[in-house]
Structure 1
Amino acid sequence: MSAARFTEVQTVAIPVRDQDAALAFYTGPLGLEVRFDAELQPGFRWIDVAAPGATTSLALVRAGEQLPAGVDTGIRLATPDAAAAHAALTQAGADVGELLLWESAPPMFEFRDPDGNTVYVTESPAG
């Protein structure tokens, strides 16, 4: 039996209650860019946002019974300066956790979006 062949992770979905509010947060304080925003059928809007130049995007999909908001997404965003990102999100009023400065790991922190979804930020030289 041969294995399926995949080349990358294209999109990761984040469940949100209010797509407009989520879009404002992800493109405002987070600085992501809109890659796609359209109503594909009545009541079904698909929004993709991504870091400039990134190949993987985040889909801000409408939460529902089968896909509730307020989850730990497991998503890690990379930044060249975790302290600056932490300060910017704190100043923007985001629900931001402690900036962790461990000797054996890069600087990192977590934040929650307006729907309570947890996202992580890790400092990476490549950003």
Structure 2
Amino acid sequence: MTKTTKLISVSIPVADQDAALRFYTEVLGCELEVDQEIMPGGRLVQVRPPGSPVSLALLLPDGPIPVAVRLGTGDADEAFVRVARAGVRVHNEEVLRWPGVPPMFSFEDVDGNGLVYLQDE
């Protein structure tokens, strides 16, 4: 059975991604990891504290990219089936596959917190 392999990133909801990016890089000293539109209207801004294996995703709270904790898994398809069979609220009808992005899906924990599984590659 495929399990969670690592913590990839934690999302922080921000009102202004440019202002947040300046704060986290210029004030807190984080390094820019990603700043790109990964879907229409969905800009992913991700920074990483130096030496940390975990990134911070600076996301709009009402944007198309879910504010969530991103976890790694060895097999997104198997994890999707396991999570869905457990009665967990899954936000996707199937594992999402976009060019240049690992297979993934989003879901909620028992308290309604957002989680995303991304397949480790």
Q: Which has the larger radius of gyration?
A: 1
TM-score after normalising by structure 2: 0.48
TM-score after normalising by structure 1: 0.46
